[in-house]
Every structure is written in C-alpha cells, then in structure tokens.
Structure 1
Amino acid sequence: MSRGRGPRAGERPPKQPRARAAHGACAQRPTRGAAPAKWAARACAASPAGRCGQPGLPSGRRAPGLPRASGGSAGARATLAEHPPSVTAVSLAAMELLKDVHLGLAPPCPSPARLALLSGHYLYYHYGCDGLDDRGWGCGYRTLQTLCSWPEGQSTGVPGLVAVQAALEDMGDKPPGFQGSRSWIGCVEASLCLAYFGGPQGRLCHVPRGAGLRGELERLYSHFAGGGGPVMVGGDADARAKALLGVCEGPDSHAYVLILDPHCWGTPKNPSELQAAQWVGWQEVSTAFDPNSFYNLCLTSRN
C-alpha cells in the first residue's frame, strides 16, 4: 500500500451566500422528497443488489450555506472517460472490503478519563478500492461511501462515484458536466447524497478557521456515546477528507480522535496491516488538524 496524495484546494462560498453558521452550529439535512425515477435507477445500478433507499432531496434543491471545497483545478476536472480501461470501476459486489478496521486498537493513553466509539459497523472504502484510480481527488467520495455502509457494514445500496456525481447534478448542486469529472466533494455534498440515496442521517457542523476541533470534543463525545456513526471531516487549507470513529480524553489535558484515512492505495489484507501503516489510528487533536483551516463535519446517525 502507498500513500496517495489527497487534493489540496481552496474553498469557495456557495454561489448565493446565506448567513454563515456560528461556531459549532449544526444544520440538519434537508427534508426528504421524491427524486425522478431515472436517477433512482442510476443509483440502483451502482448497487450490487439493485437496491437503494428513498431519495432524499427534490430536484433543484441546494445545500445549506456552509463554506465548502471548490470544483478543483483544471487538471482535476479531466473526465473519467480519459482513464484507460485498466482503471474502470468494477462492480461493487466484486470488492473485498475490510470491515470495522479499528477493532483491536488499544486506547491512546493508559487510563482514559472517558472514551467513546461509534456504534454499528462500516466498510473501509479507500483510493482504488473498486478498480478506479481516484488518487488526488476521490477521498471525499470514499469517505461518503464509508458513511453509506454504516450501520450494517454492507456494500448494498452504497453508490458508486459516478452515481454520486449524477445525483449532485440532478439536485442542482453541481452544473451539467460534473458527472464524469474528477472534481472532489466535501461534507456539504456528502450530506446531500446521504439524504438522496436514503443513507443514514447527516448533520452538518461548521468549525471556523483557527478554532480547531478541541472545542468540538464534547459534541463528538455525545455523538459517539449516543450511538452515532462515523463523522466525515474536511476543510480548506486541510482538504484531505477523512472519517472520525471515536474520541478519547486522557487524565491530563490530552485529547485524541480515532481517524480513518481513505488515502490508502493498494489492497490491504487485514485490519492489522492498516493499523500498522496508520491508515486508521488515534491521533492527538492538537496536532491532527491544521489551525489555518476551517472544517466542516458531517455527523451520521440512524434514521
């Protein structure tokens, strides 16, 4: 396995700015509605069992007004059609994805004051796991797929990358031509797709630049202790999407988060291999996040 370089990108506000969320403010995902049958069919086509949940956002609706990632550089927007057949995506049913890869990790400190982990099960989606070479732009999609696999830890109903792009076009969040591109996505787009594909509920939280995630520890602890699922994280200066699986506070002032990194390239054989390479592991909050970046969080919970 090798470490693929994730996208490094600036952020943009939505085209029609709205009042920005206050520090730590959260927004619930949009109310569900009925999407055209043709898009449900595309979503089902990406599912091994031909099943998808109820679409979550009427066509033409846009996301909450949080800052988010831009579409990427000209190079990142090259179409998937330019890739050779060797990196064409294979059926999701053919993937051999690892499940609950954090199990077996020891706590990050000897005597934790408190510790909470996600409930349920998930699959680890990462660069190239379906045969598509998405290094440099696919970390947001892979993290979204991990969120969609929760809480059963199954690939049934998890959309492929092209299905995600088609859904964002259909919702009016992305312009025509986004489908088939190599443009990245962030937490805002992930929350829309969770609703669209009938996945777990996604709640958005915005953490202003310079605030870091230490101020969100209480929220994260309550989320995981209350049965919540994986939390997607992404920012601007730090544009590498990842998932949080737990939080731990030591007896002193140290605090840690359990991070699942989708930037792994290769075919990991077991969770121990991922843990040894630090694709999943505990990291101290004060050093794991860039103080010059703002962050968006997408917290998942059961419907």
Structure 2
Amino acid sequence: MPVADEALATRLADRMLEVERALAGHVRSRAPFVTSAASHLMEAGGKRFRPLLVLLAAETGANPDSDDVITAACVVELTHLASLYHDDVMDEASLRRGAASANARWDNHVAILTGDFLFSKSSELTAELGADAVRIQARTFTRLVEGQIQETVKPGAGEDPLEHYLDVVAGKTGSLIATSARYGARFGGATPEVEEALTAYADIVGTAFQLSDDILDISADAAESGKTPGTDLREGVPTLPVLMARASAGPQDARLLQLLDSDLSDDALHAEALTLLRAHPAVEQARAYVVARAQEAKALLAVVPEGPVRDALAIFADHVATRTT
C-alpha cells in the first residue's frame, strides 16, 4: 500500500511487525503437525493488505494504538488465510504464493481441516472483541461463503452474467476488505460516520482489486507482473474483460466468441484468444469501469479528516485501479 507520509509509513510498518508476531502465535497448535500446516501459507508471504487496512483505518480514530486493533488485524488475516486453503481445494490448485499449496503438499483433507482450524482461531479472537465484532464477522463470513457458492453456479435464466459476476466478487473479496476497514475504524475510535464511509470505501476498493486482477490476467506482460498471462482465460473462468467482450460482441467478434467457447488448453488456440481479447475494446472498457469505481470510493473519503491518512487511502484507490502487478 503506497503511503507518501514518512511518519505514517513508519507507524504502520511498526504496527505490522506486531501483527506478524501475533499471527505467528495464533497459528500455533498443541499438535506440531497442525502448526506446520497452519503456518504453511502464512510463511509463504502475501500482501497482508487486509491487516494493513485495519491499521490504516484505525489512524482515523482517537485510539489507533489500541490492542484491539492488532487483534482485529489478526482476525481478518486469519479469515483470509483460511479461505485460501479452501479455495485451493476447490480450484485444485498446486501452487499458492509461489509455494506448493497445502492440498498439493499434503492432501485435500489436510487443507480443508487446516482452513477450518484457522477459521476457528479467527472466531476465538473475534470473541475477544465483543458481541458486535462477532456479529460483524458472522455477516462477513456469510457474504464470503455466498460469493464462493455463487461462483460455482452459472447465472440463472434472465440474469445478467456480468451482474452475477460482480456480486460474486463483492462477496468473495469485497466483504472481508470492507470489514477490515470497519474493524480498524471502530477499534481505533473513529466516529460512526467515518466508520461507515470507510466500510463503503473498502467494499468498493476490495472489489476493484479483484477486477484489476482480471484485467492483468489479459493485458499484463509476464516479466512485469510476475504472472502467467491468460491463466483464467485458459481455465474458462469468466472475468470482467471476457464478460464485457461477450456483452458487446458484434459480427466482427465471431472468432473470439468461438474461441471463448472452446477448450483453450490448446496453446495455439489460447494464444489466438488472448491476442484477440487484448485488441478488443472490452479491455479498455474494463479499465474505465475500475477507474470509475476507484473515483466512487475516493468520493466517500470526504468525511475523513484531511491529512496523510486520507491521502494514503485515496492514493491506494488509484493504485488499485491502475496497478500493473
């Protein structure tokens, strides 16, 4: 997360060290094997975007150094980590964060149960934050799981595929990021008005973050992004540019539509589809949509006091919309 103010960046870095130390303790079990499995993805790295957002949102309140802020940061990161274990089983993924996924290193049973263990640890910590936090976490988890389930089913008859997909992303990704901002604002002592604004801001930015990934999957250069282009395309996963291309397709797009409905595990067909999609106006349309969502999120920051915290939140919204990695 880009933070221009040096003092704020230093405070956040110091607090993130506290979060990392706390997380290392929370994934420990009395059984060494469970500790090893639960530590696996955490030690592989990750952006730690959600706990960092908790800390940044807390800076809008009177008590940003509250111990509850650290606890809340651990809650959202443990929830996120738990969901990754389950995601990898559903996706039959072999890699996560450059390392073997838990299901590949052990098996699906271990991965699922390790995810359950992390969810339970997250729940224990949430209980320390009080009944309201438990209620917020439960609602967040409901949205997250609903999004995950919706992703496995096709849109119903008469349902807009793009709206269906955006609803999936809002549930799977936006919900926990929104709660990260809510927890930070609440336990940092921000006003209710600021808490609500930051929650809405983060819901939008969280969704935009995933949509940016969609665009990178099509447009990014492998050397720059560190990702293999067209992975979702090859696997037939519907993403924002693909759905927009389908929605706006004309007679000139017949070959692209034919390819999108084909088995793109074939390297030549995959390369042709990626080339056609990169040249399609839908990619720029998708970029414009994400930039517009970022602007919408930034407008919600008007109630946050002017200063480095608001600046950092605004810069981050822009960064999400235009990122290349």
TM-score normalized with structure 1 length: 0.27
Q: Which has the higher helix share?
A: 2
Rg (Cα) greater in structure: 2
- Whose RCO is larger (CA < 8 A, sep 6+)? 1
